[in-house]
Amino acid sequence: MSAPEHRVNYDWRARIGLIYPACGKRDNDFSRLVPDGVSVHVTRVAFSGRVTAEDIGAMAELENLLAAARLLKDVQPSCVSWADTSGSFMFGPECDIEQSKAISAATGVPGSTTTTAVLAACARLGVARLGIASPYVAEVNDQLRSFLSARGLVVSSMRSLDLDSEWAIHSVGREAAYRLARDAHTPQAEALFIPCTDFEAIDLIEVLERDLGVPVVTANQATMWHALRLSGVGDSLPRFGRLYTLPDLVEGTPAPVR
């Protein structure tokens, strides 16, 4: 009997490029959030690991993002996304738009950011009032609230762990993250948002949606949902929440995989 055929089918539909903070440790989340035939390629930008407005701003300078984006261009991606929540809202209400356009110009494919993706996710879900379960310190939370408000969303409630280091955020256990999310939800909220691409979240989406009765949007989930849609991939992956059951494409012309 002959051995079974071994096939490697990991990028025949799309290749997604991600720019990620140097100390981010949840690379595996992004690979889990794509269907068969889609590959994920990650490059880094330097980051001190201190989650303060000053340090986030230094990391997210446009020249840093563009240097990383140009490296990803060599894998001929279908799109490139800046996979960081705070770094894509820290420079004002249209920060993500500027970053997305610059990334697209540098790579020749659609560009996105985590906050771009979150805004698109809220629009697609038809929600405008959010409860937020944040790991951030107050100054970063204030910037987040201002950004969302300027883009037409209402923060109906927010709870935070007030953590100022990336390592501390990554180390939060599932139970603590779940309790924070439960505390952040109020009857006025139409959805729950969990920011930060290095925070425990994607494995809580299903249970939180059942327990709270509203859609849950997380940083990594939204980032990859938007990147997939920009890449022309509309698969439904129900394990990752209501958002991932909506197979339609977002606006934009997907770049073919070459």
CATH number of 14-117+221-245: 3.40.50.12500
Distance of CA 107 to the CA centre of its chain: 19
Least confident of 19-28, 80-89, 247-256: 247-256
Q: What residue spans define the domains of the chain? A: 14-117+221-245, 122-218
* DSSP states of 166-220: HHHHHT--HHHHHHHHHHH--TT-SEEEE--TTSS-GGGHHHHHHHHSS-EEEHH
Query: Contact, 247 vs 235, CB < 8 A?
Result: yes
For the question of whether the overall pTM of this predicted structure is more than 0.85, the answer is: yes
pLDDT tens for each residue of 155-186 = 999 999 999 999 999 999 999 999 999 999 99
* 165 vs 161: CA distance, rounded Å: 11
What is the CATH architecture of 122-218? 3-Layer(aba) Sandwich (3.40)
Could you tell me which of 223, 247, 9 has the C-alpha nearest to residue 124? 247
Does 122-218 match 14-117+221-245 at the fold level?
yes
Percent of the chain at pLDDT exceeding 90: 88
For 39, the enclosing helix (H) or strand (E) is: strand 38-45
pLDDT tens for each residue of 34-71 = 999 999 999 999 998 899 999 999 999 999 999 999 99
| Confidence at residue 108, expressed as pLDDT on a 0 to 100 scale | 97
